[in-house]
């Protein structure tokens, strides 16, 4: 996800600042109780840049940061742009490597501990799963399109996606989803419900997925395949899950 060097990172920040649609402004002024003064603009750029760097793992000497920014704006920096970019790139990559090492260690510890829990099964690929409810229908194959309900969460329990919020299952072509999903769904019968613990090696790996899923992140899914789509039908209405009141939660 974050292999781009700091140069492109900063270009992305600038592009995001100017390309992003401005929010609706109140009639009294751009920000309630404030005017667009030089100070307001300067502070706003500081907020934008600071927010972008907040999760980078970098630490700053703020006085030096402000001095460098000021010198560059005024056209008298102590370093050439190439020199500054080399130093910034090196520091950024080192911080990212350190952060990734922490993530990899956390993932390894979780998977090792989780594998020892009652009811958790580990496959040859490293996928872990726990049966919540066995189904009675057919098992899909990798070429099938499956209607399924799901809830995805991180190790801390934060939910990042859920079909239950929309009240309808979602279609998935198994040969187009992450490896852990494709393998897990083929273990399940329609009407069943499993908890899948998908290692990053079977999910989004060292790249992550946009701003949502960081690198080296194990994902936890509650998955409930509802139906296999008839290949003769180009479109079907979303089928209902066995229990329409099911919100994705279950009893331990």
- Return d(Cα 1, Cα 210) in angstroms, integer: 6
- Active-site residue 92, yes or no? no
Q: Phi and psi at residue 122, in whole multiples of 5°?
A: -110, 125
State the catalytic residue, choosing from 9, 132, 154, 178.
Answer: 178
Active site residue 110: no
Q: Is 194 a catalytic residue?
A: no
Q: Which among 92, 129, 150, 216 is annotated as catalytic?
A: 150
161 is catalytic: yes
One of 9, 132, 161, 246 is an active-site residue; which one? 161
Q: How far apart are the first and last CA of the chain?
A: 35
Q: Of these residues, 43, 60, 160, 250, which one is catalytic?
A: 160
Q: Which residues of 215-241 are buried (b: 16+ CB within 10 A; e: fewer)?
A: bbbbbbbbbbbbbbbeeeeeeeebeeb
Q: In the annotation, is 172 catalytic?
A: no
Q: Which of 53, 164, 216, 221 is labelled catalytic? A: 221
**Contact in structure between 126 and 199 (CB atoms under 8 Å):** yes
Burial 164-183 (b: 16+ CB within 10 A, else e): beeebbeebebeebbbbbbb
Tell me the C-alpha distance between 136 and 225, whole Å: 11
Active-site position among 204, 213, 216, 228: 204
CA distances (Å), origin 113, targets 117, 122, 124: 7, 12, 17
Q: What tokens does 158 get?
A: 């934060």
69 an active-site residue? Answer: no
DSSP run (H or E) holding 219: strand 219-228
Taking the C-alpha atoms of residue 197 and residue 181, their distance in angstroms, rounded to an integer, is: 10
Task: Write out the catalytic residue numbers.
Answer: 150, 160-161, 178, 204, 221
């Amino acid at each position: 996800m974050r292999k781009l060097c700091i140069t492109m990172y900063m270009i992305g920040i600038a592009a995001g600042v100017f390309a992003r649609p401005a929010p609706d402004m109140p009639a009294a002024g751009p920000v309630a109780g404030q005017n667009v003064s030089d100070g307001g603009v300067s502070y706003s750029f500081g907020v934008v840049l600071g927010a972008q760097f907040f999760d980078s793992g970098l630490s700053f000497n703020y006085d030096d940061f402000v001095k460098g920014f000021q010198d560059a704006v005024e056209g008298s920096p102590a370093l050439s742009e190439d020199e500054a970019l080399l130093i910034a790139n090196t520091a950024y990559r080192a911080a990212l490597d350190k952060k990734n090492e922490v993530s990899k260690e956390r993932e390894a510890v979780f998977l090792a501990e989780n594998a020892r829990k009652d009811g958790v099964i580990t496959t040859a690929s490293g996928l872990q799963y726990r049966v919540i409810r066995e189904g009675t229908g057919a098992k899909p194959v990798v070429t099938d399109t499956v209607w399924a309900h799901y809830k995805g969460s991180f190790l801390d329990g934060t939910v990042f996606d859920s079909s239950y919020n929309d009240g309808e299952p979602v279609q998935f072509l198994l040969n187009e989803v992450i490896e852990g999903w494709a393998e897990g769904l083929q273990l399940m019968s329609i009407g069943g419900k499993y908890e899948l613990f998908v290692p990053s090696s079977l999910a989004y790996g060292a790249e992550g997925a946009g701003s949502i899923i960081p690198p080296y992140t194990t994902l936890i899914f509650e998955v409930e395949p509802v139906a296999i789509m008839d290949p003769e039908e180009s479109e079907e209405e979303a089928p209902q899950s066995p229990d329409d009141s099911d919100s994705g939660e279950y009893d331990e």
